[in-house]
Amino acid sequence: DTGVSQDPRHKITKRGQNVTFRCDPISEHNRLYWYRQTLGQGPEFLTYFQNEAQLEKSRLLSDRFSAERPKGSFSTLEIQRTEQGDSAMYLCASTKGGPQSGQETQYFGPGTRLLVL
């Protein structure tokens, strides 16, 4: 299966600890998105990369959150000093397309479920 993969699938941590999640997009996809999904809600956009460049960040992405895509392939999302409110499913999606299209389908990974105790 050459879909989007995410690691780990589940993470339990104590408040105040740092956590890092990894996303491996579909190999030829140049765009990568991070979303957060809380219980009873749809996914909410966090940040977006085109190749290695981080082009947009949501106001949901506080300064405790940082994302990288150093070689334009896999991406990491780090949360520092976790809080109980960070408990959520973190979803990664990837797509391929031109600069002004927007009609491409985003393909999602299985997500990383974070629980902050």
Residues that bind another protein (CB under 8 A): 4, 6, 31, 33, 35, 40-45, 48, 50, 55-56, 58, 91, 93, 97, 99-103, 105-111, 113
For the bound state, the minimum distance from the C-beta of residue 109 to another protein, rounded and expressed in Å, comes to 5
Residue listed under structure tokens 């992405």: 61
Based on CB atoms, which residue is closest to another protein, 49 or 116? 49
Q: Residue 42 in contact with residue 53, Cβ under 8 Å?
A: no
Q: What stretch of H or E contains 7? A: strand 5-7
Q: Can you tell me the distance from the alpha carbon of 66 to that of 76, in angstroms, rounded to the nearest whole number?
A: 8
Based on CB atoms, which residue is closest to another protein, 50 or 80? 50
- What letter represents residue 97's amino acid? G
Based on CB atoms, which residue is closest to another protein, 35 or 65? 35
Q: Can you tell me the distance from the alpha carbon of 13 to that of 117, in angstroms, rounded to the nearest whole number?
A: 6
Q: Residue 36 in contact with residue 88, Cβ under 8 Å?
A: yes
For the bound state, the minimum distance from the C-beta of residue 52 to another protein, rounded and expressed in Å, comes to 15
For the bound state, the minimum distance from the C-beta of residue 105 to another protein, rounded and expressed in Å, comes to 5
Structure tokens at 103: 């009609």
Based on CB atoms, which residue is closest to another protein, 6 or 82? 6
For the bound state, the minimum distance from the C-beta of residue 51 to another protein, rounded and expressed in Å, comes to 12
